[in-house]
Homo-oligomer: A and B are copies of this chain.
C-alpha cells in the first residue's frame, strides 16, 4: 500500500496499524498463543474451502440482512469483543460501537474494556449491543456488570468459556505488557483492584497476571446456570470448538453458540474455527443459532462461514486496525468494505439471500479440498 493510497481491503488496515501503533499495544493486539500456528491457520483454513458459483441467476437485489436473536441486522457481520480498545484510538470502544451502529450491526463490549458499559451505551444508543462476560472469582463483580449491562440497554450476554486460564502470548511476556497509565479498566471502580491491576506487571505479562488473579478457573456449566438465573438476557457461549461441548451447551438452553478460539490467543494447536464449524452445526441441527469468529478478513470468508451453516460472523482484530487507521470512521470503513465484499461475493455466487436458504442448499456452494 502506498502511503498516499487509502485502504481498499482489510489487510491494508492491518499493514497501516502495524506500522503506526506502539509496539506494546500492537503486540498485544496481534499476538496469538505460543508459536502462533493456530493464528496463521485461522486465516489459511478459509483457503481450503472452494466456492462453487452458480450462474445466470438474478442477483440485482441482494438481501444481506439477517435476524439475530430476533433483532434485524443489516448484514451478518458483527463486532467481536476485544479488550482495551483505547490503546488503538482515544475513542476506543465508543468509536467502534458507533461504527457498528451506523452499519446497523451488533457491537460486543468486553468486560475488560477501556470504556464503560454506560459510556458505550451513551455513545451508540441505537446500536444492538451485547455484553461479553468473564466470571470473576468474586461473583458479585460479575453480577453487578450483568445488571448494569441490562440497564444500559445491552441485548445479550456473551459468556466467554475458553479462558479459565490466560493463554501464553510470548510477545506480551517479553514486553511485560501492561495497560498504559492513562487508560483503565473502565467497567470497574477507579480505585478497585479490578481497575488498577492491569497497569502493573510482576515480571511477565501484566494482563495475564490480572486475569490469573481475578478470573475464576473453576467455572463450570453450573455457573452458566447461575448466569441465566440472574439475568433475563439471552446467553451466547463463546469459545466452543467441539461437537461434545456444543451438545453440552444446548443442554443448558443457550440462545446461541459462538464457535471461536479466542483469536488463537489461548492454546496453540487448536483447529481453525472454520474447520470445526461444520462439526458444531451438524450437532446443533438448528436447536440454537451458531456464529463464528476467527481469521475473517474478507467477504469470501464471510460467505464461506455462512455456507457452512453460521448465521453470523464476528471480527475482532480488523476493527482494531480500523480504529487505529481512523477511529470511528476507520472502523466503519472496515465494516463497509466487508459489507461490499460480501455483497459482491453473493452476486458472483448467484446468491441473492441467505435468509431462506437451508443448510443443504448452501453446502452446494462450497467444497473442502486437500491440496
The complex places the Cα of A1 from the Cα of B270 at a distance, in Å, of: 25
Shortest beta-carbon distance, A313 to chain B, in Å? 15
Nearest-CB residue, chain B, relative to A208: B344
Nearest-CB residue, chain B, relative to A46: B269
The answer to whether A269 and B59 have CB atoms under 8 Å apart is no
The complex places the Cα of A371 from the Cα of B49 at a distance, in Å, of: 12
Nearest-CB residue, chain B, relative to A50: B271
Shortest beta-carbon distance, A311 to chain B, in Å? 21
Contacting chain B: which of A106-114, A138-146, A164-172?
A164-172
A185 interface residue, CB < 8 Å from B?
A: no
Nearest-CB residue, chain B, relative to A266: B348
Q: 1/0 per position for A338-358, CB-CB distance to B under 8 A? A: 000100110111100000000
Which one of B170, B218, B275, B371 contacts A59 once the chains associate, using CB atoms below 8 Å?
B218
The answer to whether B9 and A58 have CB atoms under 8 Å apart is no
The answer to whether B170 and A300 have CB atoms under 8 Å apart is no
- Which B residues touch A341, using CB under 8 A? 34, 168
The complex places the Cα of A248 from the Cα of B350 at a distance, in Å, of: 14
- B-contacting residues, A195-244, CB 8 Å: 216-221, 223-224, 237, 239-242, 244
The answer to whether A344 and B269 have CB atoms under 8 Å apart is no
Shortest beta-carbon distance, A17 to chain B, in Å? 18
Nearest-CB residue, chain B, relative to A58: B218
The answer to whether A165 and B344 have CB atoms under 8 Å apart is yes
Shortest beta-carbon distance, A16 to chain B, in Å? 14
Which one of B8, B37, B173, B219 contacts A58 once the chains associate, using CB atoms below 8 Å?
B219
A285 interface residue, CB < 8 Å from B?
A: no
A360 interface residue, CB < 8 Å from B?
A: no
- B-contacting residues, A298-331, CB 8 Å: 298-300, 304
The answer to whether B8 and A173 have CB atoms under 8 Å apart is yes
The complex places the Cα of A354 from the Cα of B174 at a distance, in Å, of: 31
- Which B residues touch A223, using CB under 8 A? 56
The answer to whether A304 and B269 have CB atoms under 8 Å apart is yes
Which one of B56, B239, B270, B350 contacts A51 once the chains associate, using CB atoms below 8 Å?
B270
- Which B residues touch A300, using CB under 8 A? 34, 267-269
Residues of chain A having any CB pair with chain B under 8 Å: 1-2, 5, 8-9, 11, 34-35, 37, 46-60, 161-162, 164-168, 170, 173-174, 216-221, 223-224, 237, 239-242, 244-245, 248, 266-271, 275, 298-300, 304, 341, 344-345, 347-350, 364, 367, 369-371
A-B CB contact pairs (8 Å), 20 listed: A1-B174, A8-B170, A34-B298, A34-B300, A50-B270, A51-B267, A52-B270, A55-B164, A55-B237, A55-B240, A56-B164, A56-B221, A56-B224, A56-B245, A162-B348, A165-B348, A167-B344, A167-B348, A217-B347, A370-B370
Interface contacts beyond A269-B300, A271-B367: sample of 11 additional A-B pairs, CB < 8 Å, sorted by A:
A1-B174, A50-B269, A50-B275, A51-B267, A51-B270, A52-B271, A54-B242, A57-B220, A58-B220, A164-B347, A267-B348
